[in-house]
Amino acid sequence: MNVKQDDSPGETPQASEQQQVLPGIEALQQARDAVEMVEQNYEDTMQVETENLSVGEEPIIEDDQDTMQEMESVAPIATNDSVTTMLVAGGCFWCVEADLEKLPGVLEVVSGYAEGTNDNPTYGNYAQNGHREVAEVSYNPMVISFEEILIYALKHMDPTDADGMFGDRGNYYSSAFYYDTQAQKTLIENLIAEVDEKGPYDKPLAVEVIARPTFWKAEEFHQDYYKRTLSSLKYKFYRNASGRDAFIEKNWPEDTSASFAWRGDVTSSNEGPWNNFEKPADSELQSLLTDIQYKVTQKNATERSYSNDYWDNHETGIYVDIVSGEPLFSSTHKFDSGTGWPSFTRPIDFNLVTEHDDYVLLQKRTEIRSAIADSHLGHVFNDAPAELGGIRYCMNSASLRFVAKADMEEEGYGTYLYLFE
């Protein structure tokens, strides 16, 4: 057996073993150095929270307790049990029901008939009596909005066909959006105009806009038709043959969600003075904002829980960016999370905020910032009650200004009054 000989003068077996151990010690030391570097980075970051404080003034975060509390799971709370309903017509109610029940926040979809002249219509006589196939949607408005359901429904039908839907012909299969209030009617009309201008279709939308009529539930045979053991096979064959999915793929190949990609440019989808906002110089911001507002919005600080303006505010209205005035959150989506910060199930519109990875506490969090002013607002967590959608937007009051419903029109936020209809 050949053994490599080491001719180094004066070396002993003990020295050789020590030489073999050194790389392990060096690796351990390197790891310790890396940890110390991370800790130093953390201390440097947290120093932002305490720098420039007056003598005797408490730092915004005395320790990590408040910030860690922000990350804790929400305690059992009294949730908003309100359920809202709406009607949608998009052709065969089997398909409409199947599509809309996939939406988070939609609790139930029931197939039925509406608009006709007779009471208690049946599948055998609804068409001849002027009814249309419709779906009644029950949803939690704290999770999903009236408009988002309409957008999702629109993307899953042919809204340009005035005399039926795919292979099913006749007005009783055509599309219609129904409204309960004038605000909803205006919203629908604006939505149709927006899609006519920016959407993928080569002809105008033919969706009828109709005051909500009486809804008549269809026979039990038609409910959940797409997921029952035997009828599900027939449904899949029917849907594939109808051309519905091919049409959706052609017009919305990458985005069948409940929003429009073109709304990513918030300045084009929201008219208001905030769209012309130009961020002042840092020195000017310091003079315009209070100390806590400046540190939170510009230096990513976290205010103290239970010692802020809006954690227990129950007034009706919206919350806007303290710097730019851009609308962000609504009282209709606010809930008591038990954390001491204002918490929401969602923003008014998801395009109004941006998300960013945050590793300040050595644990990944998702930071939320305003889309226009780029103000730090807070973080989003996946720990809200399931019935509220499971998402908690944990915001800092110092980043927000509350505008009461009674003042919204005067202050230029009348567009958002639909939230309270």
What residues are annotated to the active site?
92, 394
Instruction: List C-alpha distances in Å: 420 to 19, 142, 217, 316, 348.
Output: 75, 12, 28, 8, 12
Instruction: State how far the Cα of 389 lies from the Cα of 143, in Å rounded to an integer.
Output: 6
Instruction: State how far the Cα of 43 lies from the Cα of 356, in Å rounded to an integer.
Output: 21
Helix 291-299 crosses helix 13-50 at what angle (to 10 degrees)?
140
- Of 43, 75, 73, residue with least CA distance to 61: 43
* Contacts with 242 (C-beta within 8 Å, 6 or more apart), sequence order: 92, 95, 166, 167, 168
- Of 242, 225, 222, 243, residue with least CA distance to 234: 225
Instruction: List C-alpha distances in Å: 213 to 19, 108, 111, 179, 419.
Output: 87, 19, 15, 9, 22
